[in-house]
Each structure stands twice: as C-alpha cells, then as structure tokens.
Structure 1
Amino acid sequence: MSTSHTPYVLVHGAWHDGRAWHRVAPLLAARGHRVFAPSLTGHGDKAHLLGPEVGMTTHVDDVVGLILDEDLHDVVLVGHSYAGMVISTTANRIPERLAGLVYVDAVVPAHGETAVDVMPVTQLMIDRAAGGDEPWRIPPMPELPAPRGLFGVTDPADVAWLRSTLGDEAVRCFTQPAETDNPAQGAIPRTYILCVGDEPEGITRRPVPATRPDGEPTRIHELHSGHDCMITRPAELAELLLESAVASVA
C-alpha cells in the first residue's frame, strides 16, 4: 500500500457526529489522503433516523456501506470512544479492506462484549434513561467543572460549538455485542491513542492489549488531552494518524 493517498475513515463516538473531525480531516487531506468522516445513523444529517431500533450494528452497517460504496481499499479505520466497538466489528466483517485500526481513547472489546461490559459506567446512564418517557434514549453526558469540561473540551467557544453538535444516543448502541471472531481481523495492525492527564474520576480505563490477536505487537501512544482530542489537540492527533498509516506498511 502506498501511504501517499491512504483512505482514512474517521468514526465519531457516542452523541457526536462527523463534524467532530472538522479540525483533523483537513490536516490529513492536506497531506494527500482521502478522508471520510461520516455521521452515523441518528447523528448529524442523519439525526432524524434516531429511534429505539438503532444500535451498534446499525453503525457498523453505516461504515461498511461507506467503504464498499466508495470501493475503498487499504483503509486506515479510526474510531473514537464508543466507536471502538464499531471499528472492531467492521474489521470482523471486511478485514480485507483495512490496512490498520486506530483506537482513539476508545472502547476495545473482546468478542461478545458490549460497551457496558467494557465501560460499566454506561449502565448508569441506561438505568437513568429507563425512568423517562423514552427509555431507549440517552442524552449526552453533562459538562463538568474544569479541567473535565464537556468531553474534555474546556475552551468556551469550543464548548458552545461542541454542544450544538451533540445528540441523543440509543440504548442498543451500548448493549449490542461486538463481533471479533473472524481470524482474518486478527492480523490487522492496531494503534491505540490514549488521552491522559485529565481522566474523569470514577472511570477506570481497561488496559489496552499489548499484542494484537495474531501475537504481533500493537502501538500505544499517549496524548495529553481531554477525551475529545480531535477538538483540543487536532494537529498532534493528525500526526499520530499519519504515523499509523506508515507503520501499517512497515
């Protein structure tokens, strides 16, 4: 694979939409790469499609459909936060299309695990929603005092912009299990980018795997940033994503 025109597919996390990548995508494109940052079903231009039937597999269908419709090959597939579930299952379905997986402060599931299994605090949000008029609908997490902010974003202008892009998430996104049982997905190079320094209290990060399923080593980078590093540290994140493409063909 030549890295000069690598296709990147950037998958946003829960409650966000494709606009979350608006500072990172141009940096990758400026280096000659094709960049796709779709909004998943129920978000952004697809917000009107949100309903109780939307789940994690719906979002996998979105990403798989994009890659196949655009006839993309040697894709670097990037997932932020909840989208670790999405890119893992996408890799299970179409491993032959992917050159690398990048988990950006993301959930890293084993086969059959749900987002709740990996991040148990999610169950509290599901339980809270269960007492409402629409128990399938989970609103975004609230803004916290600095330095936590809104998903780690603290600049007032950025917070206001980010808040305008957020939408509710369907419970099924957190309760549908990941699929990672295709042996072919185990050979895809993996990079983990961990946002460190401003971790919220009460949320424990599961250690990321030191090796991928076929025994080859993974790459782990730390980025001093709040959770939404694509907004707060776009240049640094873009450089790590560019490195991941090079490392995938090394």
Structure 2
Amino acid sequence: MATYVLVHGGGHGGWCYQPVARLLRAAGHEVYTPTLTGLGERAHLVGPHVDLDLHIHDVVAMLHHENLRDVILVGHSYGGMVITGVADRAADRIGRLVYLDAANPVNGQSLLDVAGPIIAATRPMGKIVDGVELVLIPFPEAGAFYGVTDPDDIAWMADRLTPHPWRCFEQPLALTNEDALWAIPQYHIVCTSTLATRDPELTAKARAAGRLWDIDTGHDLMITEPRAVTDALIDVATS
C-alpha cells in the first residue's frame, strides 16, 4: 500500500481529485487531498496573508500532524510550486515527487517566472476584494479554460472553483535544503499538448529513466482522464 498526498492547482481545491482518489483507494492505497488556505471549502479564509509560503506550510503541517512518511507527493499545475517547497522543508517525509502537468520551479522562481505568459494573462481579468488581488475568477464555463470539455464536468467545476490570490503566483520559491530535495526521485505526468513547452532536457531525462507519462487530454487531467492518471500514479509507486 502506498500513501498519496494530492495537491491541487490554482483556483481548485482537494475536491478536484475525487475521481482519482476513489480509484486509488479502491486499489488499496491511502490518499489525502488537502485544500490550500483560501481556496475551495477554505475560501472563507482568504486574505492578504495567503501566499506560496503559507500553502507550503499547509501541506508540511498536514504531513506532520498525520505523521505521514514515504509519501508520494503529487502537485498539479501551481501545485508543482507547492510540492517543491514542501519537499525542501520536509524531505524526510517524501518518498517520491510527482509533477502532474505542473510547474517545475528552481530556487528563486515564482509561478510567473515559470509560466509567464499564461499566468500574466489572468491578471487583467482579476479583481480586488477587501484589499486582496484575486485572479482566476470563476465563471460558468471556466472548466473549458482548464481543458475540460464534458458538460457535466464543467458544471461540476463551476460550483467549486474559487478565485486565487495573485500573491501566490508572484512570490518566489525559497529553497534552503536543495541537496535533500533534489535527491528525491521525481516523476512527471503531463498532457501531450504541453510537452513542447517544457524543458527538453528535463523531459528527455525523465523519459529515459521511465519517469515520464504523457496523456492526450486537457490540463485538468485528473478530471478528464482519472483512470489514466491513477494508472500512472500506481506505476510510480511500484517503480
């Protein structure tokens, strides 16, 4: 049995992993799907204090309080920023890192640095609420922005997506334990369509090591292709 911690991306919450979590649990694995502060069912906690560091702390604290070790830590999209920071701060609790169509940052980079044009394009459509700059403002068809095409899935997402504090996207990642962090095996599950935009050296190295899966679907692949994602995650556990 493996233990998975599935970290969501911008504007989402732990809810987005429901299909994958059900499949992993049915296969006998332990699964945690934390929601980061200010998002999802924790949207009421949004405020000027919510940033990348706080989201990293959210997950580090969960690992500690649940006493989890040898975890397969998965991050989707913006969640790649979060899991990299978590592994830096709690390397002794992480067995494998999985980047799920996610940002692959290095020390000193923000999400804006890693995915500049896409992230910057969200800012003009944002708004200020109680002094907090929010982006990824939900709208009824927002699921399509994440590559989701099924009308039922889009409707399901529309009821759950929440705005995301811009501060999280512009704050640089600060790493202090890089030797331990980069010693953790890394795996990549990506959308076929994003391969061309990724670091060719990184993807070539991952593919040669048998640590790269590409799935021909939209960015929210845990929603559009939960079985394929689950199968890849189970492969990670047995590799």
User: Normalising by structure 1, what TM-score?
Assistant: 0.85
- CA distance in structure 2 between the partners assigned to 1:141 and 1:189 by the alignment: 35
The letter of the residue matching 1:69 is H
- CA distance in structure 2 between the partners assigned to 1:165 and 1:133 by the alignment: 21
Give the counterpart of 1:234 among 203, 212, 226: 226
The letter of the residue matching 1:78 is V
- CA distance in structure 2 between the partners assigned to 1:16 and 1:131 by the alignment: 19
Aligned length: 234
Tell me if the contact between 1:189 and 1:218 (Cα under 8 Å) persists in the aligned partners. Answer: no
The letter of the residue matching 1:238 is T
Give the counterpart of 1:164 among 137, 159, 168: 159
Number of the residue aligned with 1:206: 198
Shift, 1:144, TM fit: 7.3
- CA distance in structure 1 between the partners assigned to 2:58 and 2:86 by the alignment: 10
Give the counterpart of 1:45 among 33, 41, 44: 41
- CA distance in structure 1 between the partners assigned to 2:45 and 2:73 by the alignment: 24
Residue 71 in structure 1 maps to residue 63 in structure 2: no
Number of the residue aligned with 1:126: 123
Distance 1:43 1:77, change over 3 A: same
- CA distance in structure 2 between the partners assigned to 1:53 and 1:129 by the alignment: 18
Tell me if the contact between 1:150 and 1:159 (Cα under 8 Å) persists in the aligned partners. Answer: no
- CA distance in structure 2 between the partners assigned to 1:23 and 1:160 by the alignment: 15
Number of the residue aligned with 2:170: 175
Question: Alignment RMSD, CA only?
Answer: 2.5
Tell me if the contact between 2:127 and 2:135 (Cα under 8 Å) persists in the aligned partners. Answer: no
SS at match of 1:225: coil
Shift, 1:136, TM fit: 1.2
The letter of the residue matching 2:107 is H
Number of the residue aligned with 1:110: 106
Give the counterpart of 2:10 among 11, 14, 17: 14
Distance 1:13 1:235, change over 3 A: same
Structure 1 gaps of 5+ residues are: none
Tell me if the contact between 1:142 and 1:150 (Cα under 8 Å) persists in the aligned partners. Answer: no
Number of the residue aligned with 1:33: 29
Where is the helix percentage greater, Structure 1 or Structure 2?
Answer: 2
Number of the residue aligned with 1:196: 192
Shift, 1:246, TM fit: 1.2
Residue 98 in structure 1 maps to residue 94 in structure 2: yes
- CA distance in structure 2 between the partners assigned to 1:196 and 1:149 by the alignment: 17
- CA distance in structure 2 between the partners assigned to 1:189 and 1:218 by the alignment: 11
Shift, 1:81, TM fit: 0.4
User: Normalising by structure 2, what TM-score?
Assistant: 0.89
SS at match of 2:232: helix
- CA distance in structure 2 between the partners assigned to 1:23 and 1:171 by the alignment: 28
Q: Deviations over 1:102-143 (max 9, x none)?
A: 000001101110000001121232355378885611134767
The letter of the residue matching 1:68 is H
Number of the residue aligned with 1:221: 213
Tell me if the contact between 2:51 and 2:165 (Cα under 8 Å) persists in the aligned partners. Answer: yes
SS at match of 2:38: coil
Structure 2 gaps of 5+ residues are: none
